[in-house]
Amino acid sequence: MARADKPASTERVEAFRTGISAEARAAAFLIAKGYRILARRFRTPHGEIDIVARRRHLLAFVEVKARASLDEAAYAVTPRQQTRIIAAAQIWLMAHPEHAEYDLRFDAMLIAPRRLPRHVMAAFDASV
């Protein structure tokens, strides 16, 4: 819901910018950890995958969450979102069969002001 002092469109633009900035920070952090970014903002009818990254024979589907604190970011990865990300990952794999035999993992990258990103490996699994 829009606050009284800002129109909804301004809040959406701010949220979009925050999301883009958080995704850029997350991607840079993953690259520094030895991952190769294969896709960013991969959109499907079921939802969006923020980052698809590969390291060796592992494929990580990464949900990026930016909040005021790392704890708030962690709680923002809801079961409903997990289900949508899993469905989107299946579509990504169908579109990229060359990665079908890779190990798969669903990670979260938590972003908060004045904090290093927190990479939560295997934040959830496909059995959700």
CB 99 within 8 A of CB 93: yes
pLDDT of residue 1: 45
Architecture, CATH, for domain 8-124:
3-Layer(aba) Sandwich (3.40)
Domain ranges of the chain: 8-124
Task: Give the whole-angstrom CA distance, residue 102 versus residue 85.
Answer: 17
Neighbours of 127 (CB within 10 A): 5
pLDDT of residue 22: 86
Instruction: Please report the sign of the dihedral spanned by the C-alpha atoms of residue 29, residue 32, residue 34, residue 35.
Output: positive
pLDDT, mean of each 10-residue run, the chain (128 residues): 58 68 92 97 93 97 94 92 94 94 96 93 84
Q: Measure CA 46 to chain center.
A: 14
